[in-house]
Amino acid sequence: MRHRMNYSLSLFYRGSFRELLLLLFAENLIIALSAVIMGIFLLKTLGEPFNIPDKRERKFFLLTILLNTLLTYFGFVFWSVGIITIKLRFNPGIITDFIFLVLIMDVVTWLIHYILHTKPFFEKIHYLSHANKNLNPASLFVVHPIETLMFGFSWLLVLTLFTFNIYAIISYLVFNITLGVISNLGINHITTRNSFSKIFISPAFRLEHHKSGNTNFGYHTKIWDNVFRTLSASYTNFAKNTL
Ligand SMILES: [Zn+2]
């Protein structure tokens, strides 16, 4: 039974599961704080103010980090027992894996967000993300615990169903959090018409979602809002001008 009491990270570290939980908590805390600092830096660069999260927001921020720690722990256990398989070699397949990850997670998160806006889900869970009309970089983590688990387990399910390269997974997580911070800046600048802003979401796009409440569900791209005609206005269509 001894091997069940310990975990190993590659070949260079062995320790107890309590240590692992602490390590994963530190990892999730550093990621979340780095994301907020990146957001504050972007706001400062743009000459915009940063609204300090209130007590309620700080409470849910910490709760999300704790739940993300638990989800990372589940991911590690699933990988340890072979439920999740990951390719570890550095090769050109990383690029296709990354693109596939963005596309699949884009449709999964769009669908979950759309469901969260249907009646019972919104009233009981998703109202929390919409409680504060003013977005700030910390808003990315001010989420109802059930919503965190819904997104977290869908991420683990995708990792269970497909085998991705570790570098593609890390790149996707960096992309996901960077776009999350940018889209939660809470500013209304109209972005210039470039190919990136035609496809990917922007702060104004997300702000529109918080104003209207039933449009602009995309977390990564505007593809599914275009397909299902849930855009806030015709000029958010990536074929025309963009928000
Ligand atoms: Zn929403």
More confident residue, 15 or 200: 200
Q: What is the mean pLDDT of the chain?
A: 88
The 10 Å Cβ neighbour count of residue 138 is 24
Please state the pTM of the whole predicted model.
0.87
- Residue type at position 18: R
Q: Which residues are 209's β-sheet partners?
A: none
C-alpha to C-alpha distance for 140 and 142, rounded to whole angstroms: 6
> Where does the pLDDT of residue 234 fall: very low under 50, low under 70, confident under 90, or very high at 90 and above?
very low
- pLDDT tens, position by position, 28-84: 999 999 999 999 999 999 999 898 889 999 999 999 999 999 999 999 999 989 999
C-alpha to C-alpha distance for 179 and 184, rounded to whole angstroms: 8
In this prediction, residue 1 carries a pLDDT of: 38
Helix (H, G, I), strand (E, B) or coil at 152: helix
C-alpha to C-alpha distance for 198 and 188, rounded to whole angstroms: 16
Say if residue 188's pLDDT is above 80: no
Residue 80 Cα to ligand 1 middle (Å):
34
- How many residues are given for the chain? 243
Say if residue 112's pLDDT is above 70: yes
Continuous H helices in the chain: 2-5, 17-45, 55-80, 93-116, 119-124, 145-161, 166-183, 195-199, 203-212, 223-227
Strands 86-87 vs 164-165: parallel, antiparallel or unpaired: parallel
Residue 108 Cα to ligand 1 middle (Å):
14
Residue 115 Cα to ligand 1 middle (Å):
10
Residue 126 Cα to ligand 1 middle (Å):
7
In the chain, what percentage of residues exceed pLDDT 70? 88
- pLDDT tens, position by position, 70-82: 999 999 999 989 9
Say if residue 105's pLDDT is above 90: yes
Residue 113 Cα to ligand 1 middle (Å):
6
